[in-house]
Amino acid sequence: MKIFTTVLFLALGLQTIHAQNKHKFYNVDGNEITQEQFESQYDRLKNFILDYERSNSSEHRLINYQSEEQLNSSKTSKIYNYLESITGKELDRDKNLLVSYLSATNSKIDGDSKWDVLNQRYNEIIEERGDVIRLWVHSPDLKNLEPFQIKDITWSADKDRMLEKQLFPENVPYGGFLILQPDGKAYVRLHEHSNQDITENVERLLGKK
């Protein structure tokens, strides 16, 4: 009888734990929605899904690949100040910022990265514009930066997670990039991207040179 009671207790306990492990769904604004709404709003061309495992639930969030917003002068200044503090560079506040952000998901890459964003000729073209400051930032959780250590590229850690918290959601695959203009106009692209994605948006937002 004791054995039966113990087995029954364990079975009931597992059922309780399973019931508690609920699935929660959130839209691109961070509001909780139903699974049906989640599935109807998901568009693989516009957004992707981030999954979070909590102690008693699984959360699924929709994240847009790209967004544009107008930051106020205070927030814009804080971003410039923070980037100065982590890079050790004095930034010209009249110039635009182009920040590549490398997330911790890139820790699994072995050998030299083939990512074309690291292409030296491309970086020279951006720098030749004269109106863009090119910066490289990585998540403090990134375990292996070696594949991305390319000549003339200096990576800085997002040590206080300011960029992660405000612009690049936690563990977003691959990371992304930010184009920030002095007047606070900001464009953020998340997930996989290439030279072409960056070039096209630089030219669209800042004009061709």
Side-chain half-sphere exposure of 110, counting CA atoms within 13 A? 0
Contact 186, 68 (CB under 8 A): yes
How many Å apart are CA 147 and CA 143, to the nearest integer? 11
What tens digit of pLDDT does each residue of 167-184 get?
A: 998 888 889 999 999 999
Pairing of strands 32-33, 22-26: antiparallel
Tens digit of each residue's pLDDT (9 = 90 or more) over 114-173 = 788 888 888 888 888 999 999 999 999 998 898 888 888 899 999 999 999 999 988 888
